[in-house]
Amino acid sequence: MNGSTLGNHKIATFAGGCFWCVEAPYEKVDGVIDAVSGYMGGNDKNPTYDNYAKKGHIEVVQITYDPHKTSYEDLLHIFWRQINPTDAGGQFGDRGPQYRSVIFYHNDEQKKLAEKSKKQLAQSGRFTKPIVTELLPASAFYPAEDYHQDYHKKHPIKYKFFRLRSGRDSYLSQTWGDQQKYKSQKEDTIVVKNQNWRNFVKPSNEVLHKTLTPIQYKVTQKNGTEKPFDNPYWDNKEPGIYVDIVSGEPLFSSQHKYKSGTGWPTFWQPLAPENIIKKNDYFLIFKRTEIRSKHGDSHVGHVFNDGPKDKGGLRYCMNSAALRFVPLADLEKEGYGEYVGLF
């Protein structure tokens, strides 16, 4: 078993699917000295990215940390909030045993803390399925190739696109919400937010009356609905993203837009699920699911279960009056440059 200390520092090792996505959050934690992507758990030496899975290794991140600034319990707290602990077949878009979730403990103390943490999670009631994350003794650690290290810094757009497409961000947002964050982290968040709206405070009603048109105010503040086929975006085919007219937080993308025949802008999935709030709506007697923006608290529309079957079966039917369209050509200058790579 690897040693658990390096001078005055300690080490911890976690596997949670793609090591790029596990490494990045830990590098934001105050007290973490280094987070290195690599391989562990196999039956052969010197694995490479081309053969590590065949040799029985798993993608891991080995963390060097200062125990005076952050604890092993802190690192476990963050770990659970980066994975799906009920998935035994891999993590999100990455499938196979080389992507399964594992806590590799380096000593008996880490083992006891990991067992306690796993038991608490299982008893929390947050998950309906069993917690299948394994606890295994740490073995030889092999750092991954240089191009895998700090991938989120070297290729930020590709990294964010990968997280988005894998389903990781959507799952974590729906499962944990703001609890993805941890008090010992630095000011920036795990999933990088756009500076224009990250710290948004909803304007007063008086300001909204002055800045919104009557139909925009009616829709966003009074749960209104605009006329079908008589709104700006129902037939818009330009590439770009749709943001909340009140807060500017990203909500939908033209890449997920389709022509539903309803006369309103319609999408099969949101661009940023973490900015979407779903609420039960009984205004028309029968139950519907309302969509509101998280930061602006705007009524945006409703989601239904009659969308494209090959895209998940959902139909996000939105109001143009609740949205502002930002063309692809304007994403950088308007502060949404992180989404350019999606196109």
- The catalytically annotated residue of 11, 12, 15, 18 is 18
For residue 119, count other CB atoms closer than 10 A to its CB.
11
Separation CA 269–CA 256 (nearest Å): 6
Burial 159-173 (b: 16+ CB within 10 A, else e): bbbbbbebebbbbbb
Instruction: Kindly state the tokens that stand for 109.
Output: 């103390």
Instruction: Kindly state the tokens that stand for 250.
Output: 């990203």
21 catalytic per annotation: no
Are 30 and 22 in contact by the 8 Å Cβ rule? The answer is no
Separation CA 148–CA 20 (nearest Å): 7
**In terms of C-beta density within 10 A (0-12 exposed, 13-18 middle, 19 or more buried), how is residue 220 classed?**
buried
Are 276 and 255 in contact by the 8 Å Cβ rule? The answer is no
C-alpha 35: how far from chain center: 20
DSSP lists the bridge partners of residue 317 as 266, 302
Instruction: Kindly state the tokens that stand for 301.
Output: 């529309």
At 75, which helix (H) or strand (E)?
A: helix 72-80
- The catalytically annotated residue of 144, 317, 318, 326 is 317
Which residues form the catalytic set?
18, 317
